Amino acid sequence: MVIIDGKKIAAELRAEVAARVAGCARAPHLAVIVVGDDPASAVYVHNKAIACEKAGMRNTTVALPASASEDELLSVIAGLNSDPAVDGILVQLPLPRHIDEDRILAAIALEKDVDGFHPGNVAALFQKRPCAVPCTPKGIMKLLEAYGIEPCGKRAVVIGRSRIVGLPVAKLLLDANATVTICHTRTVNLAAVTREADIIVVASGHPETLRGDMVREGAVVIDVGINRDPVTGALCGDVLFDEVAPKASFITPVPGGVGPMTTACLLENTLELYLNRP
C-alpha cells in the first residue's frame, strides 16, 4: 500500500508555477472575496494568500461582514471584473444564506473565474472545451497521474455529487476513459457499488463514509473530506483510514492528500488566466 504524498506533489507543482511566474512580465494577481467570519473559511483564505505570496503572485483579499447584502457583494465583483490589474477572482464558499450563490458565481467575469464555477466554465467542462477546471478535481487527477494510476478502462466510483467536487471529478474521470458511477445519499447499498471499484473518490463530507468492508483489495482510494473528529477534534477525512488503508493499493491521507493540491491548482489556474489574457 502506498500513501499518496499530496504535500510533495503540491510542492512540486507550486515550484513549477513559481518558476513560470518568475518569467512573467508582472505578477499574476488573485483576488479572494470572503463574506462573514466562518473560521474554516478564514483559514482557507489565509492559506491562499500565503501560497500566492510564496509563488511570487499578487493577492488581494476582500473581507465583507456577514451582514453584507447581495448587491454589495455584486458591486465588489463588478469592481474586480473591470480592474485590469486583477487576473483571477475567487468567492470563498459557502456564502451566508441570504446571498444567492448562483447569482454571485455567474457575476464573476468568465475570463477571471479561477475556480471554474461560472456556468460558462461548467458548460465548457461538460462539453470538453478549454476552461478553468475546478481546483480540487484537477488536483485529484494530478495525484493519480503523479502516481502512474491510469483511469482508462477502470471502474471509478465517486461518492458525492456536489458541483464543487463530485460532479466535476466524475466528468474528469470519464474524460480519462474510466467507467464512472456517481453515488449519493439516495444510493441503495453503497457498499455493493464501492466493492466493485478500482478507483474510489470519496467526497461526502462525513467521516467514515467509506469503511474497510466496502473496499476490494487493491483499490485506489482518494479521500477529499475535511472534517473534525467529533471526539478528538483532529482533522479527518471521509474515509476510515485505518480500516481502508490495509486493503488499498494507493490511498490519500487527511491531512496531506487532496487538500494541498487544491491550493497548488488554484495558483496554476491563476497563472493560466493571466497567460490567457488578450
The residues that touch ligand NAD, with contacts defined as CB under 6 A, are 136, 159-162, 164-166, 183-185, 187, 190, 203-206, 209, 224-227, 238, 258-259, 262
Catalytic sites, residue numbers = 48, 92, 115
Residue 62 or 93 having the CB closest to ligand NAD = 93
Q: Residue type at 120?
A: G
d(CA 267, CA 216): 35
Residue 59 or 263 having the CB closest to ligand NAD = 263
C-alpha cell at 17: 508555477
Smallest gap, in angstroms, from Cβ of residue 277 to ligand NAD? 26
Residue 86 or 269 having the CB closest to ligand NAD = 269
Residue 103 or 184 having the CB closest to ligand NAD = 184
Please, what's the b/e burial string for 240-261 (b: 16 or more CB within 10 A of its CB; e: otherwise)? bbeebbebbebbbbbebbbbbb
Smallest gap, in angstroms, from Cβ of residue 5 to ligand NAD? 15
Smallest gap, in angstroms, from Cβ of residue 43 to ligand NAD? 12
Smallest gap, in angstroms, from Cβ of residue 24 to ligand NAD? 26
User: Shortest Cβ contact with ligand NAD: which residue?
Assistant: 162
